[in-house]
Chains A and B, each alone.
Chain A
């Protein structure tokens, strides 16, 4: 039912909004949330609980009503309590079998005795039954449906900056913002609600003064140009250097602040009594929000359970808005500072019962709240004496608060439990982080304003604006939270965690089973592991554990509060989705030749070139055959291309590579292996000496960036007289390979290409097609060939010239797959494919590349030590019979010996040149002898046999690199 319009309400009653819920049509107003529109339409069951499928209504109306989660089209898990109402919405409650009204999952409530605490642990303990439980849980659990065909939302992230970020737009936060702005700081106030003002706008106690204070505060903020207010946005986490992700419905803003004021307030906490989850039982602050923000009457007749003055104010707010208050039931023996409020209530005929409790909520036939059964509280905190039932359709709970301190924890704040306020408060705050208001243990409205002004001033000063003024306030005179708002009940269903349907007895049983540490208890019981992440259960869970173990709350401690504060939609996390991609200067040429692309690190490389009517395999084999029989060309521009220049350039390379380079002649190249400190192979390439003090060298495609960074680090450390230049992207490079490669190149250069003038492993600088180039005679693919490097913007011209010159010789571009096959025939390894994060050169046949007699190279000492130990494994060639039929292993399939893992395949392919499948595999040293037969397990589990064979498989004498070839 709607109330008459109230001043400052958030809904626009002139704009009606029609929507559907569970197949029925309703009307709300613009400004409503889904919950407030439904509650205003007298819908009391908004969802079902997770485990027992109990009907649930409003609890917090503060983004934590995780039993009222709805699906709208392709949008799962909308929190109805805060999701703005949109015309045309067609909503259904999640986690129901059938419908919300006739949910077949209700049966689980009757089976609760068979679902003890730690049920997951116990179910999965039995290995035999594991698959059955897994299948069942996958059906039973999970909220909402993901529509994988839903179009991607555009949710660009953005960075933002401010001097002072104030998290929380309540009285303390706004006061902090005003104080910081007054000192000249650029301030941003972020609040998750649709409007700022916080509790000051609804915890009124029908008090005109409070209403005026609230209005004046908003007016001051609106008039301050240095304050930016960001609403409907929450601070989702805290990252170092005051970096805060601010999440709204559309995007994430990464806010970098000079300093941060956390004025995030406190979560009102539920009391624990039998049936405390009936629709109609809600937090007092939820009822006040319904009234003052949305003009919704929370109930007709209420019982208020209180343990602080806030409860009395809530009762007065109810009375002022035409809700009958049957009684105020106060857990405390006296009303304390609420005495004036209690008098007003008494004058209105409201019964105030101190030293009393609610033993249980009474349900009607529909499962809705119909009454409260109350009793006196004994000295031991348990109900005593006769019970009495009071008819009501709603119960308000106002027994205490828990600080919204998640961000403070994430920032590294040391917290302490303060018994004066029965909550954790900041003890030591990190530099640049400040706290005020309820999260700081300050509750009175005037005190919150003063605390906010202090925090704002200090935060501005920390950001470099003005001087810090104001000191910490003295403690609260009266505790706002009851230390034990919990009543046991033989029938249970006194819920501590509403997300997971955890009852008081579940905690007792968990502790009895030995899970008496807060972190263990959390995981065993799943307390705080639901969608609200314990915002309404962690504090009571902590109190229960403390009492059961005889500890103080400080000793029990809290669980870790990790980002994010609320669940963040995947689309928001994804943002625009930046995926950097590099293209070589020859990309367009490959496109024109119908390249099929494959990722290689951040690069896109041609896997092969598609030919009409040919399969992928035929294309790859055809490309390889062209290289073996004629001439092929491949883009190798993705290789890392570095230079080291200076008098100590050779000394630098001596230190970073395993071989010798001081004795490398100008005009020659040498294979280069790089290890880390542990002697593990991390990269390889070719070093070319262009001048006495000038080397040009390549790295692997994937290693270019990291190797350059590492070499720069080493050079900085060693302080040698040389410099490193990263030219990876500045040069285009191709490998022209095949017996006819020399004929092709000869058409384009005046360079003497004879073996005598330009021998194998030589490097030359000359013009090719009029383009200044560096040429290296290398043999990675096992044929006579030239790696030609030119400035990137000449790459296209070079490619075109080579293709034109080679056309008469049947030149064919080849891709990565053909190159992999060709190098495998030659027995050349690929770092990262034929090695892993533990492989040393000694295991892959690179002993020859180690100059252990050098004074030093990175990894040398480790290799000396490793060299004295027996090998763990050895990389060997393998081949299959030429008449092999059936499947062959895939890379990473295991070698099996004696029923145990004895190695793995690292590379495998069919070689036309060799006439069978060939490969490389790691095997135990005792299996490495040529001719040894290996059993290799296929993915399906069957075994195939291969034979250890000598590599290279092709041209083992390297005759292809000699003039006679």
Chain B
């Protein structure tokens, strides 16, 4: 399967729930939620996955459940020991997705719903939606958290963006509507709302 890099599974919903432009900056400072499902990504797993990625010039996060930034933008996340999620420019992802699989490499078609949340009240949203203590994580170690959020399995990366607490999450795209609606509901209660990605990412 080749990569399919264009559509978000929640595009219609996001468009319908975006705040008016004049309200977005304030919402983003408090708690903005943006859709990044349209970013290109690819996954692979298996005992040969790390070697296969190295052969294609990608850095490998040394520790399980950690991530590294990519030179041309994007990131590579190590999920457990032998699974990887790569998100970045189409120019990087498309060749990866089209490349023949190597020995011990099992391609994973990533059709995630991917969201970014950011703002001063992010921790409150996390405490309503997830049992992991994100406050206790050392962000300099670039942690990746595989957990359940509002009942949905997610991959999460917490980080500081421009000094603001930020969280990137990926989930199975078929849960995208539910996750977006639920997180947006919480964000709304906390004074935030849906914003365009450039507001917070």
By a beta-carbon cutoff of 8 Å, the part of chain A in contact with chain B is 154, 156-161, 254, 256, 576, 578-585, 587-588, 603, 637, 643, 645-646, 721, 723-725, 727-731, 772, 791-794, 796
A645-B106, A772-B2 as given contacts; A729 in contact with B127, CB under 8 Å = no
Q: State A725–B46 Cα separation when bound (angstroms).
A: 10
Would you call B95 an interface residue if the criterion is a C-beta within 8 Å of the partner chain's C-beta atoms?
A: no
Chain B residues within an 8 Å CB radius of A637: 174
A583-B174, A584-B174, A725-B108 as given contacts; A791 in contact with B128, CB under 8 Å = no
Q: State A588–B46 Cα separation when bound (angstroms).
A: 35
Would you call B81 an interface residue if the criterion is a C-beta within 8 Å of the partner chain's C-beta atoms?
A: no
CB distance from A256 to the nearest CB of B (A): 7
Interface residues of B in 87-134 (CB under 8 A from A): 101, 104, 106-111, 124, 127-128, 130-131, 133
CB distance from A15 to the nearest CB of B (A): 29
Check B9 against A792 for contact (C-beta < 8 Å): yes
Check B111 against A730 for contact (C-beta < 8 Å): yes
Chain B residues within an 8 Å CB radius of A729: 111, 172-175
Partner of B106, one of A582, A723, A793: A723
Check B136 against A725 for contact (C-beta < 8 Å): no
Would you call B160 an interface residue if the criterion is a C-beta within 8 Å of the partner chain's C-beta atoms?
A: no
Check A158 against B128 for contact (C-beta < 8 Å): yes
B6, B106, B110, B185: most-surrounded residue (chain A CB, <10 A): B106
Q: State A791–B42 Cα separation when bound (angstroms).
A: 13
29 A-B interface contacts by CB (under 8 A)? A156-B128, A159-B127, A159-B133, A160-B127, A256-B131, A576-B185, A576-B186, A578-B150, A578-B151, A580-B151, A580-B178, A583-B174, A584-B174, A585-B173, A637-B174, A645-B106, A646-B46, A725-B45, A725-B107, A728-B172, A729-B173, A730-B172, A731-B111, A772-B1, A791-B1, A792-B9, A792-B111, A793-B8, A794-B4
The 3 closest A-B pairs by CB, nearest first: A729-B172, A793-B7, A792-B111
Q: State A161–B174 Cα separation when bound (angstroms).
A: 31
Interface residues of B in 137-176 (CB under 8 A from A): 150-152, 172-176
Query: Which DSSP category, helix, strand, loop or mixed, fits chain A's interface?
Result: mixed
Extra contacts, 9 of them, besides A158-B127, A582-B175 (Cβ < 8 A), are: A156-B128, A159-B131, A576-B186, A581-B178, A582-B174, A583-B174, A730-B111, A792-B174, A793-B8
Partner of A643, one of B106, B130, B135: B106
Check B9 against A585 for contact (C-beta < 8 Å): yes
Chain A residues within an 8 Å CB radius of B133: 159, 161, 256
Which residue of the partner chain A has the closest CB to B113?
A729
CB distance from B186 to the nearest CB of A (A): 7
Partner of A254, one of B124, B131, B135: B131
Which residue of the partner chain A has the closest CB to B109?
A730
Which residue of the partner chain A has the closest CB to B110?
A730
Q: Chain B, 41-77, contact with A by CB distance < 8 Å: what is the 0/1 string?
A: 0000110000000000000000000000000000000
Chain A residues within an 8 Å CB radius of B136: 161
Which residue of the partner chain A has the closest CB to B106?
A723
Chain B residues within an 8 Å CB radius of A723: 45-46, 104, 106
Chain A residues within an 8 Å CB radius of B45: 723, 725
CB distance from B50 to the nearest CB of A (A): 14
Which residue of the partner chain B has the closest CB to A581?
B178
Which residue of the partner chain A has the closest CB to B37?
A793
Interface residues of B in 1-37 (CB under 8 A from A): 1-2, 4, 6-9, 12
Which residue of the partner chain A has the closest CB to B133?
A161
Q: State A576–B178 Cα separation when bound (angstroms).
A: 13
The total of Cβ contacts below 8 Å across the A-B interface reads 106
Chain B residues within an 8 Å CB radius of A582: 172, 174-175, 178
Check B4 against A159 for contact (C-beta < 8 Å): no
Q: State A731–B133 Cα separation when bound (angstroms).
A: 33
Q: State A101–B128 Cα separation when bound (angstroms).
A: 46
Which residue of the partner chain B has the closest CB to A582?
B174
Which residue of the partner chain A has the closest CB to B171?
A729
Q: State A161–B123 Cα separation when bound (angstroms).
A: 12
CB distance from B122 to the nearest CB of A (A): 13
Q: State A303–B124 Cα separation when bound (angstroms).
A: 52
Query: Which DSSP category, helix, strand, loop or mixed, fits chain B's interface?
Result: mixed
Check B12 against A157 for contact (C-beta < 8 Å): no
Q: State A158–B107 Cα separation when bound (angstroms).
A: 37
Q: State A154–B108 Cα separation when bound (angstroms).
A: 39
Chain B residues within an 8 Å CB radius of A792: 9, 111, 173-174
Check B128 against A646 for contact (C-beta < 8 Å): no
Which residue of the partner chain B has the closest CB to A647?
B103
Which residue of the partner chain A has the closest CB to B44?
A725
Which residue of the partner chain B has the closest CB to A789?
B1
Partner of A157, one of B6, B8, B128, B182: B128
Partner of B6, one of A161, A585, A793: A793
CB distance from A242 to the nearest CB of B (A): 13
CB distance from A724 to the nearest CB of B (A): 8
CB distance from B30 to the nearest CB of A (A): 17
Chain B residues within an 8 Å CB radius of A646: 46, 104, 106
Would you call B189 an interface residue if the criterion is a C-beta within 8 Å of the partner chain's C-beta atoms?
A: yes
Chain A residues within an 8 Å CB radius of B150: 578, 580
B101, B111, B131, B176: most-surrounded residue (chain A CB, <10 A): B111
Chain B residues within an 8 Å CB radius of A581: 175, 177-178
Q: State A645–B44 Cα separation when bound (angstroms).
A: 12
Chain A residues within an 8 Å CB radius of B104: 646, 721, 723
Q: State A154–B172 Cα separation when bound (angstroms).
A: 28
Chain B residues within an 8 Å CB radius of A158: 124, 127-128
Chain A residues within an 8 Å CB radius of B46: 645-646, 723
Partner of A730, one of B127, B173, B182, B186: B173
CB distance from B127 to the nearest CB of A (A): 5
Which residue of the partner chain B has the closest CB to A794?
B4
Chain B residues within an 8 Å CB radius of A580: 150-152, 175, 178
Chain A residues within an 8 Å CB radius of B178: 580-583
A156-B128, A582-B178, A583-B177 as given contacts; A645 in contact with B6, CB under 8 Å = no
Chain B residues within an 8 Å CB radius of A796: 7
CB distance from A574 to the nearest CB of B (A): 14
A161-B135, A772-B1 as given contacts; A156 in contact with B106, CB under 8 Å = no
Q: State A793–B6 Cα separation when bound (angstroms).
A: 8
Check A727 against B151 for contact (C-beta < 8 Å): no
Chain B residues within an 8 Å CB radius of A727: 108-109
Check A791 against B4 for contact (C-beta < 8 Å): yes
Q: State A156–B190 Cα separation when bound (angstroms).
A: 11
CB distance from A218 to the nearest CB of B (A): 28
Q: State A426–B7 Cα separation when bound (angstroms).
A: 60
Check A159 against B186 for contact (C-beta < 8 Å): no
CB distance from B79 to the nearest CB of A (A): 13
Q: State A646–B124 Cα separation when bound (angstroms).
A: 44
A159-B131, A583-B177 as given contacts; A791 in contact with B109, CB under 8 Å = yes
Which residue of the partner chain B has the closest CB to A705?
B153
Check A578 against B175 for contact (C-beta < 8 Å): no
CB distance from A280 to the nearest CB of B (A): 46
B124, B151, B174, B189: most-surrounded residue (chain A CB, <10 A): B174
Q: State A506–B178 Cα separation when bound (angstroms).
A: 55
CB distance from B55 to the nearest CB of A (A): 18
Q: State A637–B9 Cα separation when bound (angstroms).
A: 14
Chain B residues within an 8 Å CB radius of A603: 174
A154, A645, A772, A796: most-surrounded residue (chain B CB, <10 A): A645
Chain B residues within an 8 Å CB radius of A794: 4, 7
Q: State A583–B185 Cα separation when bound (angstroms).
A: 19
CB distance from B105 to the nearest CB of A (A): 8
Chain A residues within an 8 Å CB radius of B185: 576
Chain B residues within an 8 Å CB radius of A791: 1, 4, 109, 111
Chain A residues within an 8 Å CB radius of B124: 158
Which residue of the partner chain A has the closest CB to B131?
A159
Chain A residues within an 8 Å CB radius of B189: 154, 156
CB distance from A925 to the nearest CB of B (A): 43
CB distance from B173 to the nearest CB of A (A): 5
Which residue of the partner chain B has the closest CB to A765?
B1
CB distance from B99 to the nearest CB of A (A): 15
Q: State A256–B101 Cα separation when bound (angstroms).
A: 43
